[in-house]
Amino acid sequence: MAASPFAFYRGAAAVMAADLATTPTSGLRVQACGDAHLMNFGGFATPERNVIFDINDLDETLPAPFEWDLKRLAGSVVIAAEHLELPHSETARIVVDLVREYRERMHDYAFMRVLDVWYDKIDLQKYQDRSGDPAVVEAARKRIEQRIEVERRKTVPDHLYPKLVSEEGAQPRIKDEPPLIFHPTEEMAPGLAKGYSEAIASYRESLAEHVRVVFERFHFVDMAIKVVGVGSVGTMCGVGLFMASDNDPLFLQVKEAKASVLEPYAGKSLHPNHGQRVIAGQRIMQSASDVFLGWTRGQNGRDFYVRQLRDMKISVLIEALDPGMLRQYARMCAHALARAHARSGDAAMIAGYMGSGQTFDDAITEFATDYSSQNRQDYRDFVRAIREGRIQATTQE
């Protein structure tokens, strides 16, 4: 988080949630992402092995006012543009365009049948920006096709397994790569001595019956701790290796789920397990979800959710974007967010609230621009606190 204002913003969802709670709200609630910044969108494979674009990180999901997500997304675009040192005028145009895309897509969803909204998805291989620059759209399409082809070749047995697993010894074992990947002690991860049998059994019960049939073909082999990124630092995350037979692995990511940063301001979750909260939110907001999504609770009382590790996941590299590409990517995120909100909220009410003019677009853009200044000040305070020793921090090369 100390690397840049953009990195700080990515890790400061709790800070922004507290700030958003002080602003007027529409009263129109949806299943919100809770952390809808640019880097929490991307491509991933559906169970049918198509590649779609959607929100891909929902650790903070909870019912909340729809505009909280939109404000966080718009703010992230301003801060990303500043990170790329784009002119202020260019940044403002990109953000206005993002908000307009959200508003116009929501108007479209308002006139669609409920099931048509529910079945709608953003197919990366077929995506066309209906108002984007043709040259930018074509360049983006080619880059997307190339990236998808690369990811399709990275099969779990042929790519991920040899990268993460050593076959030296009696059975396969996840490779230690400290400090980022390492095997825990019993104190760190209670249940190690019994092979996490209780947690695995609990996870199994959270799966749909037809998925259990598949999961039962695999047996637990090994588990290692995996240090995770900016917004999840300090939470427990593990990688579990399961095998059906030689050359038939399944990697599951087991990630700790704490209370949503929105909870103090939007209300408590109705789910008894925060892993269940995350999974329920994913299934509501995403047009397709991993078949192995499930939840469990560790012997230490921590809640976890489970999903496959790196199932054709495609993320954007912000530093590689020029203004045209950032504009198109921001529009894609706005489209995905509108589609996700329309699945749980009243699209007609939201569309009516935003109206058909540019007033709403300008208001969100003004908020995002002002909030980027607040973020810079928060970042400077954060770095000063580290320098003065009030916050303990270590640097990992």
**Residue of 119, 14, 58, 128 lying closest to 342 (CA atoms):** 119
pLDDT at 330 over 80: yes
- CB atoms closer than 10 angstroms to residue 270: 10
pLDDT score of 206 = 97
The phi and psi torsions of 160 (rounded to 5 degrees) equal -70, -40
Q: Where are the domains of the chain?
A: 5-153+322-387, 163-308
**Amino acid in the structure at residue 105:** R
Name the pLDDT band for 137 (thresholds 50, 70, 90): low
pLDDT score of 182 = 93
What average pLDDT score do residues 293-297 get? 96
**Amino acid in the structure at residue 120:** D
What does the mean pLDDT of the chain come to? 90
Pair of tokens at residue 25: 């709200």
Q: Which residues pair with 55 in a beta bridge?
A: 41
Name the pLDDT band for 31 (thresholds 50, 70, 90): very high
Model confidence, pTM: 0.91
pLDDT at 396 over 60: no
The rounded distance, in Å, linking the Cα atoms of 286 and 283 is 6
Residues in the chain: 397
pLDDT score of 74 = 98
The rounded distance, in Å, linking the Cα atoms of 304 and 329 is 31
What average pLDDT score do residues 266-281 get? 97
Pair of tokens at residue 52: 């779609």
pLDDT at 217 over 90: yes
**pLDDT tens string 59-92:** 999 999 999 999 999 999 999 999 999 999 999 9
**Strands, E, within 48-120: which ranges?**
51-55, 62-65
**Residue predicted with more confidence, 334 or 136:** 334
Least confident of 60-74, 77-91, 171-185, 360-374: 171-185
